[in-house]
Chains A and B, each alone.
Chain A
Amino acid sequence: MSRSPSPGSTRNRGAMAEGILEIEGLRKQYGPVVAVDGVDLSLKTGEFVTFLGPSGSGKTTTLQIIAGLQSASAGHIRLNGQAIDPLPPHQRNIGVVFQHYALFPHMSIARNIAFPLEMRRVPAAEIRRRVEEALALVGLEGYGQRHPRQLSGGQQQRVALARALVFRPPLLLMDEPLGALDKQLREQMQLEISRLHRELGASIVYVTHDQEEALVMSDRIAVFNHGRIEQIGASEELYERPRSRFVAGFLGESNFFEGRVEALQGELCRIASPAGPLLARRNGDLAVGDPTVVAVRPERLCLLDGSAAGGGGEPENRLEGRVQEVVYLGLSRKYLLRLADGQEVVVRQQAQDAERSGLGPGDLVRLGWRAANANALEVAAGSDEADGKETGQ
């Protein structure tokens, strides 16, 4: 513990106020297919940004372009203020961790970790010292002489991490690094990666399609959809204040009520919907008469039978529905309700409250939610809302 276990803890500190990574108007087109469609991003030094999105949303392609493994059709990337677009991957000095570890099977663990240092012509004695340090950093002391195939998936991923960190890159890219691990190991590794990020002050871009993973580790999350960043912000901001229906639906679960803006009331707005009049927070540029969709989290809905607790204060929105189904989830219970106009609504209740209410299928219930917990979102004409199943109503 006397020697600093963190090889990069002081690097880049106070270098410059500008972001370590600046991406401007990045595009990638394969023939008629646009994989990345105008991505802009600025990463602060020491920041952990997650690219979250469904497969095919352009997040991995963006990462590969940053690494130099694919070329961009348009746009610019600067690392530490220097344009890296013309550089081949081996001159970019960016660490990359791949989903399937990509350890060299014909080399020992120590040789794997030494590889980037050998490429940089680091003296042998220092290589040995830094390999030891890197192994200690990921908790694999004494594994240096083994071969990759003798290690478990989690251990291999730690080696891949050590190998990508050992040459102290200013930026670390991680492409679904935990995708091949089972759930328990994944959660353990998430904490491990968070710890490394804190200890080393590394700047990290992390790609995943797992929203929980994104929430656990990120300083900021960039939600990708159709090759664009749909919204970028801190986890809480994205969860509580989504700006589009896609974000509200992809990050966590949401109930949606389509309607039209009737009146504006300061922060709030009144909406006419098939389910009835609704009051919700105005999220985005909405004017009277605009079409809108109201997003409410299932855990923000409360069932108003007797005890009106839950949201703290009287809910401004009240509807009636009939219980269709109750799903037992351990910590909580999920109710599937059908409203008078036929719309289905999901409500989540803590186990304690659920036991007290003792609701079952067929029961008629009143449900309500605070206006502050509902977001009225902009509906861009002919965008995602035209995607399919949710257009009905």
Chain B
Amino acid sequence: MTGGEELSAAGRGAVWWHRLRALICVLVGLYLVAPLVIVLIISFSSAPFLSFPPPGLSLQWYDNLFGNPVWLRSLITSIEILVPTSILATLLGTAAAYGLARSRLPAAAAIQGFLMAPVVVPVIITAAGIFGFFRHIGLNGTLPGLILAHTVLTVPYVVATVGAALSVVDARLEDAARTLGASPLVCFRRITLPLILPAVLSGLLFAMVTSFDELIVSLFISTPRVRPVTVQMWSNIRGDVDPTIAAIATLLFGFSLLALLADHLARRRSAGGAR
């Protein structure tokens, strides 16, 4: 009898703990999502200033965003930076990750550290460094300059995701391919790349999102003529604040969400296909 009571007491404790845990999860989730939801709602506001809750709904800020040449120009600049940056970062990051994963160099750890530095070092320091360096070589305020700077910032994400995938790929598969007659290049294209492709795509998406979202370095090296959307938002917030900023934030949010979703789908497909 006593055994049964103890058991039910323990069971009751477990149920309470379970409920408490669920409550904590919901609260943390709300805390994380609430600001996003508020911004999203404000972007559809009819009021000419940032107020919550909005007095009515309207699409005027989206109209303003795409109608106003300043906003449109900065959006296009962002994309002009983002596309080459993400391609460059993916190529370089994948090559670096492959080299590091298969190398027996004692310096490999140090090289990896250098590559990862931009995510560890405070961005403001990286930004100041890039600014100083670019001033010497005349890259400040140019599109190539922004692309190069963003590449430095996004390569670590590619190195990390591709490196993780490579550590799971059995190096003996490459040995086997080589004994079967595949040159190193063919071996990479036919064996290694297909196996790490989800991670490469994941790295590409990370690089795109990171570049689109980057503010601090861009703030240092952009000029009013070449100004990505984040910098435009920054100057807008400090000047005349209107809900256009909420509309652009919602766009950024939607872009990240799509990237995450694409990443998830790519991983799901690869898990179902070849493993």
B164-176, CB under 8 A of A: which get 1 and which 0? 0000001011011
Q: How far in angstroms is the closest Cβ of chain B from A88?
A: 7
CB-based contact A102/B170 at 8 Å: yes
Interface check A250, CB cutoff 8 A = no
Cα distance, A68 to B175, chains bound together (Å): 10
User: Which residues, 145 to 178 on B, are CB-close (under 8 Å) to A?
Assistant: 170, 172-173, 175-178
CB-based contact B176/A106 at 8 Å: no
User: Which residues, 74 to 89 on A, are CB-close (under 8 Å) to B?
Assistant: 88-89
Interface check B179, CB cutoff 8 A = yes
CB-based contact A119/B179 at 8 Å: no
A89-B178 contact in complex given A104-B191, A106-B273, A119-B186, C-beta closer than 8 Å:
yes
Cα distance, A96 to B182, chains bound together (Å): 13
CB-based contact B181/A69 at 8 Å: no
Chain A residues lying within 8 Å of B182, measured Cβ to Cβ, are 90, 115, 119
- When the two chains form the complex, which single residue of B176, B187, B195, B274 contacts A102, counting CB atoms closer than 8 Å? B176
Interface check B275, CB cutoff 8 A = yes
Interface check B24, CB cutoff 8 A = no
Interface check B223, CB cutoff 8 A = no
A106-B274 contact in complex given A69-B179, A96-B179, A167-B181, C-beta closer than 8 Å:
yes
Chain B residues lying within 8 Å of A100, measured Cβ to Cβ, are 170, 172
Interface check B129, CB cutoff 8 A = no
Cα distance, A95 to B180, chains bound together (Å): 7
Interface check A143, CB cutoff 8 A = no
Q: How far in angstroms is the closest Cβ of chain A from B133?
A: 40
Chain B residues lying within 8 Å of A88, measured Cβ to Cβ, are 178, 183
Q: How far in angstroms is the closest Cβ of chain A from B84?
A: 30
CB-based contact A89/B274 at 8 Å: no
Chain A residues lying within 8 Å of B178, measured Cβ to Cβ, are 68-69, 88-90
Cα distance, A89 to B181, chains bound together (Å): 7
Interface check A163, CB cutoff 8 A = yes
Chain A residues lying within 8 Å of B186, measured Cβ to Cβ, are 119
B231-275, CB under 8 A of A: which get 1 and which 0? 000000000000000000000000000000000000000000111
Interface check A67, CB cutoff 8 A = yes
CB-based contact A115/B274 at 8 Å: no
- When the two chains form the complex, which single residue of A68, A90, A92, A94 contacts B183, counting CB atoms closer than 8 Å? A90
Cα distance, A119 to B176, chains bound together (Å): 13
CB-based contact A115/B195 at 8 Å: no
Chain A residues lying within 8 Å of B176, measured Cβ to Cβ, are 96, 98, 102, 104
Q: Which of B170, B173, B177, B180 has most chain A Cβ within 10 Å?
A: B180
Interface check A93, CB cutoff 8 A = yes
Chain B residues lying within 8 Å of A98, measured Cβ to Cβ, are 172, 175-176
Chain A residues lying within 8 Å of B190, measured Cβ to Cβ, are 115
A104-B173 contact in complex given A147-B274, A149-B275, C-beta closer than 8 Å:
yes
Q: How far in angstroms is the closest Cβ of chain B from A40?
A: 23
Query: Which A-chain residue is minimally distant from B194 (CB atoms)?
Result: A106
A120-B181 contact in complex given A69-B175, A102-B173, C-beta closer than 8 Å:
yes
CB-based contact B172/A115 at 8 Å: no
Query: Which A-chain residue is minimally distant from B175 (CB atoms)?
Result: A69
Interface check A321, CB cutoff 8 A = no
Chain B residues lying within 8 Å of A167, measured Cβ to Cβ, are 180-181
Interface check A116, CB cutoff 8 A = yes
Interface check A105, CB cutoff 8 A = yes
Chain B residues lying within 8 Å of A163, measured Cβ to Cβ, are 180
CB-based contact A102/B175 at 8 Å: yes
- Nearest 5 interchain pairs by C-beta: A119-B181, A106-B274, A102-B176, A116-B180, A96-B179
Identify 10 residue pairs between A and B in the complex whose beta-carbon atoms are under 8 Å apart, listed by A's number: A69-B178, A69-B179, A89-B178, A89-B179, A90-B180, A102-B172, A102-B176, A105-B275, A149-B275, A163-B180
Residues of A within 8 A of B (CB): 67-69, 88-90, 92-96, 98, 100, 102, 104-106, 115-116, 119-120, 147, 149, 163-164, 167
Other A-B pairs, 13, CB within 8 Å; known A67-B179, A92-B179: A67-B175, A68-B179, A69-B175, A89-B178, A90-B179, A96-B179, A100-B172, A102-B175, A104-B177, A104-B191, A105-B274, A105-B275, A164-B180
Residues of B within 8 A of A (CB): 170, 172-173, 175-184, 186-187, 190-191, 194-195, 273-275
